[in-house]
Amino acid sequence: TRSALSFEVNRRPDPAQAETIAKVHENPGFGKTFTDHMVVIDWTADGGWANARVQPYGPFQLQPAAAVLHYAQEIFEGMKAYRHADGSVWTFRPEANAARFARSAKRLALPVLETEDFLESLRQLVAVDKEWVPDPGESGEKSLYLRPFMFASEAFLGVRPAKEVTYAVIASPAGAYFSGGLKPVNLWISTQYARAGAGGTGAAKCGGNYASSLAGQLEGMEHGCDQAVFLDSSTHTYIEELGGMNLFLVYKDGRIVTPELTGSILEGVTRGSILELAKEEGLTAEERRVPIQEWKDAAASGDLSEVFACGTAAVITPVGELRWEGGSCDHRRDGHEDTIATKLRTKLLDTQYGRAEDTHGWMTRL
């Protein structure tokens, strides 16, 4: 099926010069520079989706009373556009992001944008800003990060689902998410905070969850760590996620374990893909509740060989140390070459950049 929306394209009269884009591509970092255009689509309770358009990237006109600024009725997605060696531009499992966006919309009482409209919005933006998609580069992992999002733009302070909503897509050249490159991240087990609770919004990709994770991240930083590990809110015994990434434990006996989806964990597209790739590598993939004590015990006994975090932005990042009040364990090793994390990471990136055959039908040309 095709998108029923027709997009009006209003190009910027003064798009960035090739040299300017080349300069950004040299060292893109993450989320700092934005392309020339953005997609915007309006929604009203009476009229549904309308005014689909590509327009110059720039500030929104938003009423101070816009509901999103008060009650955080907002959701988003994160994906990447990859340039292949022949110049073509592709994205990874966009239907999975479209489906999750629809689930997030339902949870936040926002309107659903049909999968085809979601996909078309990505195509429209990449079509006008194609030069902004970098070559993979020496690191082999530069891309154009795509950020679709939707928010309550109605100016109304009553607490009810907004009757006016804005959907938009912006794009930003991306290199490594963490400034240290593939340096391991150190994690702090948050004792003060949980990220999400039963029946809450933890499984939705909504801004509020990320806001909720920040105090835990600060707590971690106060203990010399980069990120926090959040445990389940009711018993404080099971691993959930990092707030922006899912977690995997790798055992020496060939098992790879990740917390099962309890309703308060984000269903990562990278997480799901790793589970499939791991099985193909002959590993035993387990999705189940994982007590934090299991992690500590397996680290102490030497049964655990690796721990890594995953997400679209950082792909797969090894975990260095795990720290908690009164203790720590260390997963750092000298080289990354022969790790399961590196093997899975390479496999994923090779598929995404067309360096390996896409045996799963995961890639969509934009």
Among 49, 67, 68, 78, binds ligand COI (CB under 6 A): 78
Residue 79 pairs with which residues in a beta bridge?
Answer: 146
CB nearer to ligand COI: pick between 146 and 250: 146
**94, 136, 175, 311: which one contacts ligand COI (CB under 6 A)?**
311
CB of 314 to ligand COI, least distance (A): 6
Query: Is 243 a binder of ligand COI (CB under 6 A)?
Result: no
For residues 212 and 312, which CB has a smaller minimum distance to ligand COI in the complex?
312
Shortest distance in whole angstroms from residue 168 CB to ligand COI: 16
- Taking residue 186's Cβ as centre, other Cβ atoms within 10 Å add up to 21
Q: Which of 229, 313, 341, 348 binds ligand COI (CB under 6 A)?
A: 313
Find the helix packing angle between 269-280 and 340-352, rounded to 10°.
Answer: 110
**CA–CA distance, 201 with 7 (Å, rounded to integer):** 32
Give the shortest CB-76-to-ligand COI separation in angstroms: 8
Query: Residue 315 CB, nearest distance to ligand COI (Å)?
Result: 8
CB of 321 to ligand COI, least distance (A): 21
What's the CA gap between 136 and 133, in Å, rounded?
9
E strand or H helix that includes residue 22: helix 18-26
**# residues contacting ligand COI (CB under 6 A):** 7
DSSP letters for 310-321: EETTTEEEEEEE
Q: How far apart are CA 277 and CA 134, in angstroms?
A: 26
313/344 with CB nearer ligand COI: 313
- Measured from the CB atom, the residue of 186 and 209 that comes closer to ligand COI is 209
Of 102 and 298, which CB lies nearer to ligand COI in the complex structure?
102
Tell me which H or E stretch contains 95: helix 94-107
CA distances from 68 to 74, 153, 158, 236 (A): 6, 6, 12, 31
Q: Which is nearer to ligand COI, 202 or 244 (CB)?
A: 244
For residue 37, give the amino acid letter. Answer: H
Which DSSP string corresponds to 271-330? HHHHHHHHHHTT-EEEEE--BHHHHHHHHHHT-EEEEEEEETTTEEEEEEEEEETTEEEE
Q: What is the DSSP string of 101-168?
A: HHHHHHHTT-PPPPHHHHHHHHHHHHHHSGGGS---TTTT--EEEEEEEEEE--B--SSS--SEEEEE
68 near ligand COI (CB under 6 A): no
Choices 38-46, 60-68, 282-290, 306-314; region in contact with ligand COI by CB under 6 A = 306-314
Min dist. Cβ of residue 72 to ligand COI (A): 15
Residue 244 binds ligand COI (CB under 6 A): yes
What mask, x for binding ligand COI by CB under 6 A, covers residues 171 to 210? Answer: ----------------------------------------
Site residues, ligand COI (CB under 6 A): 78, 244-245, 311-314
